[in-house]
Structure 1
Amino acid sequence: MTEDPSRRDVLTSTISLAAAAALPSLGPVNSAMAQPMPSSATKIIAAIRSKKMTATSAVKAAIERAEQLKDLNAFIFINKDGALAAAAEIDEGRSGPFAGPLAGLPIVIKDNINTADMPTSGGTPALQNAQPARNAPSMDKLFKAGAVIIGKTNLHELAFGITSTNLSSFAGPVKNPYDKTRIPGGSSGGTAAAIAAGIVTCGLGSDTGGSTRIPAALTGTVGLRPSVGNGGAQRRYNDPDMVVPISHTRDTVGPMGRTVADVALLDSVITGTPMVTAEPLRGKRLGIPAAFWAGLDHDVEVVTKAARAKLADAGVVLVDVDMPGLFEQNAKVSFPVALHEPIADIPAYLKASQINGITLADIAEKIASPDVKGAFGAIMADAFGAAYQDAITVQRPALQKIYETYFRDNNLDAILFPTTVAPAPEIDPVKGSGEMSINGGAPVPTFDTMIRNTDPGSNAGIPGLSLFAGMTPGGLPVGLEIDGPVGSDVKLLGLGLSIEAILGTAPPPKM
């Protein structure tokens, strides 16, 4: 397939606008610690295009910083030789002048997304050296656009969790750059940590129940869960059988970045659509469902309500209408789907990826993280098999109907809520995901607590965008999410651009 020249022109024009922005010093890195990447992907691309820096220097700086910050455990595999070779090709023009709209941009990829030139481990021992036969389609789009993959990022083992406390011997717990005793969120915690630490400006994660948005919230970054709907034309990203799966109904690849513009840029390249523009906020109607705002950690409540007030001052219409029965309906869908579909989906992935000699039973037997081991006990016993058909044919449509009715009857552009009910909890190095406390209360399960607000939209297949809301007094980031109807991804990104302009971006962690 040949590249659409008009498509390149749209992105090139967008990137050129960023060239006018002031660029930090982009010369060779001489300090003991490699400096963070410039503040956005567009600035890096503009600097490479204008020859203020080379692709090789950008990639080399990213790799050096990744190696210097290896104690974060953000990476499973650093693609040093491959990335430098790709950058050299771009600099030498062997791939054509400015090979694509991302030419020379260093990015990272979650290590459950297939790459034909790098292993895809899923963060689990049985797949540690697994080599897929081909790339995931989203990866092909990024490669063709000239992105340079500096490495595969760490994750909660097999993406079955929200802490990224991976207890596999070759992975280890991912640490939050803002406080290394705390989780970065998951399951795309490695991608989030690499972005927050200034190793790269953007990359890919995946999202089943909050896995791009939860880590974005806990690391002060941005994460998009694209529309999935009922599959087919409603699915924004199409990566069938090319991502280590949990659920074909719920899984999707999703872009993550330091800014909304970074996320929008990757989304534009992957979908082949024009770069989004900011949506005016005045008069936009955002639903405020009380259930999502209940039971919050005090600091999260203060930060997100302050952010909400700023949006109201900007002319946003906040519609205080609840969604009764939503969480109860979601419970009838969530586990019956996520703990049954892997029985067929994982073998289908292994076959499609031409990963031979490894079975579902092999994977389950070698799991290292106790929390994931427990989940796979339920999967292998098919504990939710009897509930699955009802969950898919009756309960999921009923959940989708709650959302459709809520958006329609209240004439809403989106829903607004805290991405997580608490800031990043401490790492549990024993169980991987144990218990936490909200406001000094009784211990509650970390997984159930942190996924509460992101899971329902995931099961309904609607898009969601988490962005920075502010910092707690203790220096931890807090996230704010907007969800919209199926297919409203472009509008969400446009709203996100405007919201970010008001709320700002996270200060860099003190590394």
Structure 2
Amino acid sequence: MKKYILPLLLVYVTLITSVSGQSIKAKNLPEATITSLHEAMQAGKLTAVQLVQLYLDRIDAYDKKGPYLNAIIMVNPKALSEARRLDSLYKATGQLVGPLHGIPIIVKDNYNTFDMPTTNGTLAMKKSIPPYDAYVIQKIRDAGAIIIAKSNLAEFAMSGQFSVSSILPGYSRNPYDTKRTTAGSSGGTAAAVTANFGTIGLGTDTGSSIRGPAAHQSLVGFRPTLGLVSRSGIAPLSMTNDTGGPICRTVEDAVRVLDVIVGYDKADTVTRQNQGKIPQTYRQFLDKNGLKGARIGVFRQLCTSKNSDPQVYALFNKALDELRAAGAIVIDSVRVPELDTINKSFDTIPQLRRDFNLYLANLGPNAPHKTLASIIKSKQFHPYLEKSLLDAQADTLAPEAHKGWAKNLALRERLRQLLLRAMDSTQVDVLVYPSFSYPPRLIGDLNTPSGTNNNALSPPTGFPAFSVPMGFTYDQLPAGLQFFGRPYSEPTLIRLCYAYEQATHHRRPPESTPSLSKRKHKAVLAQ
């Protein structure tokens, strides 16, 4: 690595990146974006190898040392060799191989990667190397992205409250206050992205798990319309709700990832619905003036003075003023009176046994476990999961054979129609509400309210919902504003979220993971 010392120091001095519209010298990739990194590569000021090494140094300094974020399960041992390959191709052709050329990505460790273990956070799957990439992973590789690390998650993606797994000792920690939770289950991805361990990230969301961690880490999190993004090759939790999506520091970066990962996949039949509904690029909807004349519906059922932390409630009302100042027409408020009744009426029908056994069956003959029963028998999982896993295994009925299955489908459709009717009757483009009505909880605290609003509307309907930074409570605890839309209304959500982000620039990096000094970086490279 000694041969890279001088080029990297040159990057420290000369690389210019754009952060929130301001140009700064990037001594250690502070908030670097895909666009700024590609501009530096094309100007001859940065290589993929240099970029990967800079991020690896930050992981080394801050993940299991210093603030001990505990966000990373495994660093990709082939990241630098992949970067060298991409640098070689760029040198030979003068062309980027794709829209994510050389961009290091943090991948939640429930996405299959053919060249690295995919553990789902479970010690029992520590040596499980899938025979194939998840569909989304193949797409990002084809676009030139470099998987720099697999990130921690709530084991089996079962908790939206925290990120703890048997594959790592201890919880993933929130970089804004390391005594507090990252949320779950994609908390490792969110902590890593906000701490600048990679440029972009991938998470999954069954009930809360993209938008929750994004909100708790001052990030952008996209839960797309169910069916827009393939789930094949992603360890499942509940296929009626599961989806993947981006977790990034900016709306534009999240949109660039979305452009790459959407599409029809014959291995996931739900993606048939997206045909003819995907634009050539979602980037065309990045309009900083996109809030002018937009009609924003306030969904106060999810944030009242009685069911919210007072600082979150005040911040939400301030966000509404910010939307008005950017030209939006704010309709306060829009209601669905039956919402609570519907959400309390769903029967709990486990899908894990069937869905996870199908996933295991596709891992080939070398898979360490062939069934969920085998994993349970191994005892190699976190103790908090035992009852959930045993209950799932004991339910031998197919999900569709349960008496409550038809009732649940009817309730989902009823909620879809009520929400569409409420939005249509008020002529609003989207609904807004806080992603959480309370700040991040202390790690281990399961008594005070979590305040998550993420599972109320989007998961049971399959409609898209995006979370963007709304500011901070108690000086340092991030909060997210959620934009909820009609099916396949990603263009509208992107336009409004981007305009809000550009009007406010609420995100700021955490103080726990500052830029590495030149002296420290030089010492690391000289080893």
Rounded to whole Å, the distance in 1 between the matches of 2:419 and 2:334 is 12
CA contact (8 A) 1:23 1:38 kept: no
Greater mean alpha carbon deviation, residues 396-405 or residues 163-172 = 163-172
Three-state SS of the structure 1 residue aligned to 2:179 is coil
User: What letter is aligned with 2:447?
Assistant: M
User: What letter is aligned with 1:375?
Assistant: S
Residues 14-413 of structure 1 aligned to structure 2 (within 5 Å): 24-26=24-26, 35-70=28-63, 71-79=68-76, 81-93=77-89, 96=93, 97-168=95-166, 170-228=168-226, 235-240=227-232, 242-271=233-262, 273-274=280-281, 275=283, 276-278=285-287, 280-294=290-304, 295-319=307-331, 320-333=333-346, 336-337=348-349, 340-354=350-364, 355=367, 357-365=369-377, 366=379, 368-382=381-395, 386-413=402-429
User: What letter is aligned with 1:119?
Assistant: P
User: What letter is aligned with 1:256?
Assistant: I
Rounded to whole Å, the distance in 1 between the matches of 2:475 and 2:119 is 35
Rounded to whole Å, the distance in 2 between the matches of 1:367 and 1:252 is 26
Displacement of 1:456? 2.6
Q: Which runs of 4+ in 1 moved over 6 A?
A: none
Map of 1:436 onto structure 2: 447
Displacement of 1:497? 0.6
After superposition, the C-alpha distances for 1:274-320 in whole angstroms (9 at most, x for unaligned) are 12322621221121122111211111111111111111222212221
Q: Aligned in 2, Cα 1:127/1:46: closer, same or farther, shift over 3 Å?
A: same
CA contact (8 A) 1:164 1:190 kept: no
Map of 1:423 onto structure 2: 439
Displacement of 1:37? 4.3
Displacement of 1:421? 1.4
Three-state SS of the structure 2 residue aligned to 1:318 is strand
Return 5+ residue gaps in structure 1 as ranges.
1-16, 28-34, 229-234, 429-433, 438-443
Three-state SS of the structure 2 residue aligned to 1:469 is strand
Greater mean alpha carbon deviation, residues 456-465 or residues 95-104 = 95-104
Three-state SS of the structure 2 residue aligned to 1:482 is strand
Rounded to whole Å, the distance in 2 between the matches of 1:26 and 1:315 is 34
User: What letter is aligned with 1:261?
Assistant: E
CA contact (8 A) 1:350 1:356 kept: no
User: What letter is aligned with 2:239?
Assistant: H
Three-state SS of the structure 1 residue aligned to 2:482 is strand
Map of 1:30 onto structure 2: none
CA contact (8 A) 1:225 1:252 kept: yes
Three-state SS of the structure 1 residue aligned to 2:180 is coil
Displacement of 1:92? 1.6
TM-score (norm 2): 0.83
Q: Aligned in 2, Cα 1:418/1:26: closer, same or farther, shift over 3 Å?
A: closer
- 1:496 matched to 2:497? The reply is yes
Identity of counterpart residues, as a percentage?
31
After superposition, the C-alpha distances for 1:348-398 in whole angstroms (9 at most, x for unaligned) are 111123236431113334364344333223322339964541344322212
Displacement of 1:200? 1.8
Displacement of 1:399? 1.9
Three-state SS of the structure 2 residue aligned to 1:254 is strand
Rounded to whole Å, the distance in 1 between the matches of 2:114 and 2:102 is 20
Displacement of 1:135? 0.8
Rounded to whole Å, the distance in 1 between the matches of 2:30 and 2:186 is 20
Displacement of 1:23? 5.4
Rounded to whole Å, the distance in 2 between the matches of 1:426 and 1:303 is 20
Three-state SS of the structure 2 residue aligned to 1:181 is strand
Rounded to whole Å, the distance in 1 between the matches of 2:72 and 2:407 is 36
CA contact (8 A) 1:336 1:387 kept: no
Map of 1:7 onto structure 2: none
Rounded to whole Å, the distance in 2 between the matches of 1:308 and 1:378 is 43
Three-state SS of the structure 2 residue aligned to 1:299 is helix
Rounded to whole Å, the distance in 1 between the matches of 2:383 and 2:317 is 36
CA contact (8 A) 2:230 2:262 kept: no
Rounded to whole Å, the distance in 1 between the matches of 2:319 and 2:70 is 32
Return 5+ residue gaps in structure 2 as ranges.
1-16, 264-279, 513-527
CA contact (8 A) 1:467 1:496 kept: yes
Three-state SS of the structure 2 residue aligned to 1:302 is helix
Rounded to whole Å, the distance in 1 between the matches of 2:339 and 2:442 is 29
Three-state SS of the structure 1 residue aligned to 2:479 is strand
User: What letter is aligned with 1:404?
Assistant: L
TM-score (norm 1): 0.85
Rounded to whole Å, the distance in 2 between the matches of 1:131 and 1:118 is 6
Three-state SS of the structure 2 residue aligned to 1:203 is strand
User: What letter is aligned with 2:334?
Assistant: V
Q: Aligned in 2, Cα 1:395/1:164: closer, same or farther, shift over 3 Å?
A: same
Map of 1:480 onto structure 2: 481
